[in-house]
Amino acid sequence: MPSSRDVVFVDGVRTPFGRSGPKGLYAETRADDLVVRVIRELIRRNPQLPPERVDEVAIAATTQIGDQGLTIGRSAAVLAGLPKSVPGYAIDRMCAGAMTAVTTVAGGIAFGAYDVAIAGGVEHMGRHPMGEGVDPNPRFLSEKLVDPSALVMGMTAENLHDRYPSITKERADVYAALSQEKVAKAYADGKIQPDLVPTAIRTAEKGWGLAVQDEAPRPGTTVETLGGLKTPFRPHGNVTAGNSSGINDGATGCLVAAADVAGELGLTPKMRLVSYAFAGVDPEVMGVGPIPSTERALRLAGLSISDIGLFEINEAFAVQVLAFLEHFGIADDDPRVNPYGGAIAFGHPLASSGVRLMTQLARQLGERPDVRYGITTMCVGMGMGGTVIWENLA
């Protein structure tokens, strides 16, 4: 029986994230081509890795249809020019797809089934809106297995405001404006660009172009401008387009390896996987998911929340981040939380976001040798949370 091996995060990249829709960056670009771009860039950036040493390609997509279908991990691996001997598969855990791709291949590496794997995710929400082509079982509602609001993410965020009356709309707007400000600063300081892969785009109208930065951020956003936005999910509600992530397109990918194999190949790992956990919660308040998943991951690692020096929390909605911070007694503007900003500004192409969190955490840990542990965590549609704890190798 193989003994468990240490698993390390070697490198992560992503395409710039685009706004979904007919005018978005990737309106006329295929989803699988975004993944191909990411896989090729990982191989290009890590020339010490012979492509035939990649043992698995796990790619997540929430809507596995059209150019996101056809077991996209395998099809993208072939399209990217990896040897045909490299297998691949598709994964779906909605927003935590790429995160689950990483934890799944990490389990295989720890067990000894793989040495090196590529894991990531893609979502082209312009071509494939969340839930396209699905047929929810009528028993969900007829047997009251879930509240009707559970199937509309914005309504679950409103429910969370009900559950945490201390989290007001104004508090959510203040948090959202801070996220935009942090992203603008991270761009100005050159923190985001090193992990973006310039991606060719084409439109019938304009011809060829190059996507080199995220399309969604709105620098200069103020609490005042956010205060005037409509609340589409509830009259006089709290959730707006400004304090939520957008509808986006993009792909992410990373190289994960056994620590000893990374050393043997001359790869430089950035962080070590300490523990991970997923947890379920009532689907109508799916935003609380990161709380139990983080508690469980901390318990498995024998750590407490005070041991964590950096947090990358996916900002599906401001209220969901604030609920997490309130639960753990962390200030809304704690500098350990999302130092480069988050999905409210970057966007959230569902299944790809988990690896964006990891890539940003790895870069932050590289700058902060004084920090030992960091967390990547996110809420997940249908009532779940996912958390991965990482140890800094800098």
Catalytic annotation, residues: 95, 348, 379
Residue 208, beta-bridge partner list: 202
Distance CA 240, CA 12 (A): 31
- In the 8-state DSSP scheme, what is residue 177? H
Say which amino acid occupies 12: G
Distance CA 239, CA 247 (A): 15
Q: What angle do CA 335, 337, 340 make, to 5 degrees?
A: 85
Distance CA 354, CA 313 (A): 9
Distance of CA 299 to the CA centre of its chain: 23
Q: What angle do CA 198, 178, 394 make, to 5 degrees?
A: 60
Pairing between strand 7-14 and 248-258?
Answer: antiparallel
Which residues, at least 6 apart from 144, have a Cβ–Cβ distance to it below 8 Å?
none
Which parts of 114-214 are beta strand (E)?
116-124, 199-203, 207-211
* Helix, strand, coil in percent for the chain, rounding step 5: 40, 20, 40
Closest residue by Cα to residue 62 from 4, 132, 158, 7:
132
Residue 392, beta-bridge partner list: 271
Q: Are 286 and 383 in contact (CB under 8 A)?
A: yes
Please give the radius of gyration of the chain, using alpha carbons only, rounded to the nearest integer.
Answer: 20
Closest residue by Cα to residue 279 from 147, 374, 149, 383:
383
Residue 379, beta-bridge partner list: 385
Say which amino acid occupies 51: P
Distance of CA 117 to the CA centre of its chain: 18
Distance CA 329, CA 128 (A): 38
Closest residue by Cα to residue 59 from 102, 30, 94, 19:
102
